Structure formats: structure tokens, C-alpha cells
Amino acid sequence: MSDAQIREGNTRTGFSLLYNELFDLYHDYIGDKALLYYAYLLRYRNTEKGSELYGKSWRGRRGVVEKFQFSYSALPLLDDVLVCAGLIDIETKPCGRGREKIFYIVHDPKTREEFREDEADIKRKLLALIEEKSGARSIVGKAVKPKRKTRTTS
């Protein structure tokens, strides 16, 4: 028997559930940075039923950049990758000073069966994103990146 510290009974509030599907299915398509970014958005998703902000996260970009050492230029690409995978949608609302506030509608990952039905479409969208925005190539996961040509020695 191990000495693992696992809580029994009622679990506390104030924690985020990290779905197995993220690592088992999505990771190979969205990559490390997008998975981390999604987990962060999920962490701050409003779960108060009946709230106007239910399902939304609105963490500022500066906090994400400082916490994870992402570049500001990478964040729109990460947003695009997560949208292609169906994990988020994005809303913007004017907030004054000529800027818009970004609200992320953070969806739960699809079940294994749902993911497998949509897998080809997700890959197609991510490949189209790479064609449109070359910087996305460095973000997406290994299932989307074109295979490197191997050298043959003669």
C-alpha cells in the first residue's frame, strides 16, 4: 500500500478538473503551449450557473504572458489553435480607452467518441491555420506538423 495523500469523501471547491482527453487526444494536435493555455483558461472559467458570464474566462493577456513566459505575439496564435480544436470561442466587448475586452467561452473537451468523429476536421482546420499563419507551425502538436524528411546515407 502506498503513502499517497488522496482526499476521500467530499472534494473541495476551488480546483479545476483537467480532463484525460486533453492529454490522450488533444495534445498531439494542439501542442504543449496551447494545452497549458487552455488549462489556465479553464481554471478561471466562471461556473456560477445563471450568471451572465457562465462558461466564460476573461483573464488578461499580461498575466498569461508573465506567468508562462509566452510572447504577446503567440497569444493570438494560441487562441486560433484552441478555436480550431473547438475548445474555446472568443467574444470581444468594448471596454473603453479604444480597446476591447476579450472573453473566452471555454468548452469542455469532447468525449473520446465525439473527438474521433471530429478528428479529421480538427486536423484540417489546424493545417489550414498553418497555411494562413506560418507562426502556428511552431505551436501545434506533432500530429499536425508535417513530417521531416529523413536523410538517407549512401
Q: What is the pLDDT of residues 40-50, one digit of tens each?
A: 999 888 888 88
| Structural domain of 92 | 20-138
Domain-located, residue 143 = no
Kindly report the CATH number assigned to the domain that includes residue 133.
1.10.10
Q: How far apart are CA 66 and CA 88, in angstroms?
A: 22
Domain-located, residue 113 = yes
Cross-strand bridge partners of residue 91? 103
What's the confidence (pLDDT) of residue 64?
A: 87
Domain-located, residue 71 = yes
Residues with Cβ within 8 Å of 116's Cβ and at least 6 positions away in sequence, in order, are none
Domain-located, residue 3 = no
> How many beta carbons lie within 10 A of that of residue 130, not counting itself?
19
The residue-averaged pLDDT of 61-73 equals 88
What's the confidence (pLDDT) of residue 11?
A: 55
Q: What does the radius of gyration of the chain's CA atoms come to, in whole angstroms? A: 18
Contact 67, 59 (CB under 8 A): no
Domain-located, residue 152 = no
Structural domains of the chain, count: 1
